[in-house]
Amino acid sequence: MNTITPYFNENDNFILYEGECNSVLDKLTEQVDMIFADPPYFLSNQKKTTAFGKPKIRDKGEWDRVLPWEEINAYNKCWITKCRKLLKENGTIWVCGTYHNIYSVEQSLIELGFKILNIVVWQKLDPPPTPYGGRLNFSAEYIIWARKSDNVPHCFNYDLLKEYNGGVEMPDVWKFARPGFWERSCGKHPTQKPLRLLYRILQVCTQEGFTVLDPFAGSCTTGIAANLMGRKFIGIDINKEFLDYGIRRKIEILDPNKADKILNKMSENPEEVTVMVNHVNQELRKKMIDCGICYLRAGDSKGSLCVTPGFERMQYVLLHTNGADCQLFKLKNKGTFQIWTKETLEKYGFTPSHSPYYIVLHFDPKTIKHLGNQVHLKEGANTFRAKIRRLSDFLGIN
């Protein structure tokens, strides 16, 4: 039994503790499936610098002040030891950092018996200028992923990630922008992480129903991503104001419309593989599958495809009939299409009648996935427009 009262508890799905993480961790007994930690990087040295031309003091807060290296090592070892006790044998931990703390974290993890799995590079798409001379632009952070035990297998959604990445193994360099306005509407935190980063991390190694612990929760980005994906969350922070910000974010997503919008934004990926979605009647569908050819009119009227940026990321075709009986196929060549005349299509036994020219996509006729009627494809009142959509709209995250 935990011997500490939560600061906030929403239905055991989102539990927050206020306090110094080491003393809170000592009082928790629940075993968790995964830990995400964004600890102090110890980089606030209070030196004068500039940001976007204005003078600024380099200071994220008291909790982030520079410490002697030995103290940083002792600090990291202490909280990681306590986290380890709460982590299930098959659990994994993610810890963020920069050169200021990441080597210390790695050393502690290894000394405590964790097995390092990856160091993920979060490459920032919009890094701020580096304010002091003599350095390259700081445009990345590093996230160590380690499992508790050398010989107990951990949860890894390898196939799903590979599918998302167009059949190629998910790499360890991820490109995401810093948090946008859409995820900062409830308050401010000086080192808030992007929801998209947490979404990816949770996709990698968790399943619905898992419990995720964050000992440095801040504005509870981890908790918001976790709850939106059907995972439970336990967060700790020493600063009540940050937890209150997290609670406002949690309350915001209790509104299903808001939750839907944020989940949608959060799952956007600038590099995501896309799908060509096309309505065809049953007879034409059979013929298309026999030939491995999907065609549609080029242009911008209903039922035709407007070629837009993102086409180069297209790797799948989804055929449906009036929104039902959806089947997903893989393209033979990523992002490639041909323009055929009506006469060329006729040579393959098709009978196109609407246009002299067609966009033609070649796909592998082996169905990747039968999606039945579960997919929402309607746009407007009755139309099913040919459209390029994200692969994650069709492949679940659970």
Ligand X SMILES: C[S@@+](CC[C@H](N)C(=O)[O-])C[C@H]1O[C@@H](n2cnc3c(N)ncnc32)[C@H](O)[C@@H]1O
- Of the candidates 269, 86, 69, 258, which has an alpha carbon nearest to the alpha carbon of residue 161? 269
Q: Tokens at residue 197, please?
A: 């980063």
3-state helix, strand, coil in the chain (%, to 5): 30, 30, 40
Q: Is 193 in the site for ligand X (CB under 6 A)?
A: yes
Q: Is 176 in the site for ligand X (CB under 6 A)?
A: no
Q: Which stretch binds ligand X (CB under 6 A): 6-14, 114-122, 201-209, 217-225?
A: 217-225
List binders of ligand X among 4-33 (CB under 6 A).
Answer: 20-21
Q: Give the shortest CB-272-to-ligand X separation in angstroms.
A: 22
Residues 112-171 that bind ligand X (CB under 6 A): none
Closer residue to ligand X in complex, CB, 215/352: 215
What is the closest distance, in whole angstroms, from the C-beta atom of residue 34 to ligand X in the complex? 15
Minimal distance, residue 249 CB to ligand X, in Å:
9
| DSSP characters over 57-71 | E--S-GGGB---HHH
x/- map, 35-74, ligand X, by CB under 6 A = ---x-x----------------------x-----------
Q: Which parts of 265-284 interact with ligand X (CB under 6 A)?
A: none
Find the shortest distance in angstroms from Cβ 360 to ligand X.
Answer: 46
Stretch that binds ligand X, among 2-10, 170-178, 218-226, 298-306 (CB under 6 A): 218-226
| Phi, then psi, of 356 in degrees rounded to 5 | -80, -20
| Stretch in the footprint of ligand X (CB under 6 A) among 112-120, 170-178, 203-211, 212-220 | 212-220
Q: Is 226 exposed, middle or buried (0-12, 13-18, 19+ CB in 10 A)?
A: buried
The residue from 33, 106, 141, 237 that contacts ligand X (CB under 6 A) is: 237
Residues 6+ apart with CB under 8 A from 76: 39, 101, 104, 105, 108
Contact flag: residue 81 with ligand X (CB under 6 A)? no
Residues 294 and 360: beta-carbon distance below 8 Å = yes
Distance CA 177, CA 186 (A): 19
257: left (phi over 0), alpha (psi -120 to 50) or beta: alpha
338-341 sheet: strands from edge to edge: 304-305, 293-298, 357-362, 338-341
Using CB under 6 A as the criterion, which residues of the chain lie in contact with ligand X when the complex forms?
20-21, 38, 40, 63, 189, 191-193, 216, 218-219, 221, 236-239, 242
